[in-house]
């Protein structure tokens, strides 16, 4: 069986270290953040860019989660023969 997952990944290289953020289709309502080596020094501009990416991605995940829930509800209603109003 072939399992295909779509993943969105962002990498920011700081003066020292890097920050990696990502989300994928398997964990629709979660965003992951990693700092290899446990530390990254970011300039204020880099921190703002990271915050912007986190906010945009959180908004996108929230929209995808709502859409996924609506689809499940619609499928359940169709399975039981409930008409859509």
User: What is the reported pLDDT for 66?
Assistant: 63
User: What is the reported pLDDT for 51?
Assistant: 87
Task: Measure the CA angle with vertex 9, ends 42 and 69; round to 5°.
Answer: 120
What is the pTM for the complete model shown?
Answer: 0.52
User: What is the reported pLDDT for 81?
Assistant: 58
User: What is the reported pLDDT for 32?
Assistant: 81
Q: pLDDT tens-digit profile of 22-70? A: 888 777 777 788 888 777 777 788 878 888 988 888 888 777 666 666 6
């Amino acid at each position: 069986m072939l399992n295909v997952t779509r993943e969105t990944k962002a990498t920011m290289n700081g003066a020292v270290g890097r920050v990696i953020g990502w989300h994928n289709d398997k964990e629709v309502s979660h965003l992951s953040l990693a700092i290899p080596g446990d530390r990254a020094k970011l300039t204020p501009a880099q921190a703002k860019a990271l915050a912007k990416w986190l906010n945009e991605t959180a908004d996108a995940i929230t929209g995808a989660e709502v859409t996924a829930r609506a689809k499940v509800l619609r499928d359940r209603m169709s399975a039981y023969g409930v008409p859509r109003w």
